[in-house]
Structure 1
Amino acid sequence: MFFSRRIVTGFLITAVALVKAQSESGQATYFEVGLGACGVNNVDTDHIVAVSEALFDSFPCVVTAIVNITPSNSAMHSELSPGNPNTDTVCNRVITISYGGITQQATVTDRCGLVKPRSERFETVFKYLDDGLTAQRDVRKTTWMKLFQLAETPAQMERVAATFPRWRAMRKSFDEADAELFARRCDELNCGPLALTVFSDHPKHGLPLSHLAGLQLVHSLHLRHPVASTVTASALLKTSGFHGPEGDLPACAMLVSATLESFNPSDAQIADGEAIPDPRPAQLLRSLLPVLKHLSSSTPASLYRPPPSAPAYQHLRARFSEKPKIWLAESLTKIQSQLESPEVKALRLGEHAKWVGDAVAKFVPQDPAVKSVEAGAQ
């Protein structure tokens, strides 16, 4: 199914009000508005839908006419008229679209073939953007969202980011929603350093660092890249007008976890040159742990405790505003484990284990299955 006006990703369930109890499931994508199969010229602001060819063609085009049988008698006569948009019985019907707990209605105005491969759709949209920037003509602002969503590789995200200065040169701007989606996709595609480069140079790229985008940036770097990158990302929060790690609980927890990870670097960090011993992480750690202790003890649990449905921490599916809660829970759990590693034990930080355990109990929702087992044991 193809939609205009709204950006819809992932799978949707379409309850089609065409025949009783009929429904369809499909993947949303994008299409260029204009003349549709129902003979209507569509524009961006229309709330419309294009149904699959199979569904569209399953509804006949019917022409009804009055046929004179005798001068005193007449009858209604119907016949099929395939391909006539004026008489197609599916056209202009209203369907109900449900996705992510949100329900919308749209009017059927077009038919669509098979969804193009994602890479092909990316290239089509990117060419539209590139041509528009080259000719310095108006480009739909939603194009950026489409490209962020369609990108499948860090290389594709780099191509998109390389066009940001050209957009700025046209005196155009990005908003926080653009920045947050860019940061999220860089996290999901493991190209956090690209996001760090972009957000570090606002005059060149123009992406405003919102609080959520800043935390997503920290999350994208803190366990997969050198701790220095996480320090820089954390500092960007403060320079953008928000609390840095000294006043932001999720940011502080992720930075502490990143610092502890540097004592037992991952393969990715080793590849980034993190394997050489450096005394600075130990100094940073000793200054951060008291801050994390204060923040975790003084912050109400209700402010950052994830909802009960959050165990398994599927942060890719979580609502964006809920993610900092999940990142905090993940980081505290990780810190508790990291303090037990031989490399960290050599730093003699054992006095921190108790309050870290208290923080885990406070901010990490316990699996109901584990809780029931413990209750049975008692």
Structure 2
Amino acid sequence: MSVASWSGSLLAWERELAALKDRVGLCVRRPELRTSFGHYLDGLLSGVERKTGWLLAERAGEARPHRLQAVLGRGRWDSDAARDLVRAYAVEALADPDAVLVVDETGFLKKGAHSVGVARQYSGTAERIDNCQVGVFVAYASRYGQALIDRRLFLPEAWAADQARRAKAGVPEAVEFATKPTIARALIAAALDAGLPCAFVLADALYGSDKRLRMMLQARAQAYVLAVRSNERLMTMADGFATHDASSIADALPASAWHRYAAGEGAKGPRLYDWARVRLLRLQTPPWDHWLLIRRSLRDPSELAYYVVFAPTETTMSELAGVAGLRWTIETCFGTAKGELGLDHCEARSWDGWHRHMTLCMAALAFLARLRAELVRVAAGKPNKRSPDAVVEAA
């Protein structure tokens, strides 16, 4: 790449980052705090290995970290208002009628017992029960990329009932104990209420097994492909009103029911599986239908995954296989946000501090997603008019 191209790329980066700061900074009134807000974003996007207050302050040329720490602590700004601005910013770049919403959780390992919501609980990140916080997140993913658009800390029941700990961590009085699926329903509803173009909602079995989530989406005429456990009880059209485990339904299928499709592209090419689907007996009305979708590993045929599907009747099994494979996009978001942007480096112990840090990390991730999305659009000959022209030139 020429010197001019590199210069153009840096100019595009600076211009777009300044636009993001101006946009999200609308929720910050005081000029001094808005400046620190921008420094915090700069630090998250920098090569600083640990995104701590001291190191971010040092990068910003500050002798002490109190200005940067104010961004998470005593400074006055509304992280939910900022979240809404970040969501609009991200979706503006990624919007597509075939996009999906993905809900999942991620854990944050912690020492001690003072950080809000910390407890010995299962962390999918560590794949074990450990001392950690758990956050529920929603990602928006399309052919142009993916970004996190919402977050909420899971507050364990013991925490929710402990008034002294709540007060010390600044947990709002209105926050009550809510299960992770309950949190997920609220986050997904908020995203859909915001009018995001969305073809499907995706989730793993913890959330997909929540019948209230499925009923909510059906009432909204919102298609979904939600993973369920092998013991999920379902009624098929063939057996009338009899119910069977998802695994039993799969075991009864003839060899002719299975077809090979890709669940998206992997590092070594298409991720191929055998797929089958069975129509379910529900109170569906045209143009909607329900299926049990089953995925079988080629390497180990005993390895099965199950999905309950609500989609238009004409949706093909090949399309559903591709949609089911998009659930990994939120893992990509977590990997980038933790590996590059310090999502898991939060030092704040308070409720507001946790949500502020996560919101700023989401903003940094949305910034990167926006630049990458524009490169994809340029390559396809469809540049986004609202994206910086320098990115187009650099591409």
TM-score w.r.t. the length of structure 1 is 0.26
Higher relative contact order (CA 8 A, sep 6+): 2
TM-score w.r.t. the length of structure 2 is 0.25
Over alpha carbons, which structure has the higher Rg? 1
Q: Which has the higher strand share?
A: 2
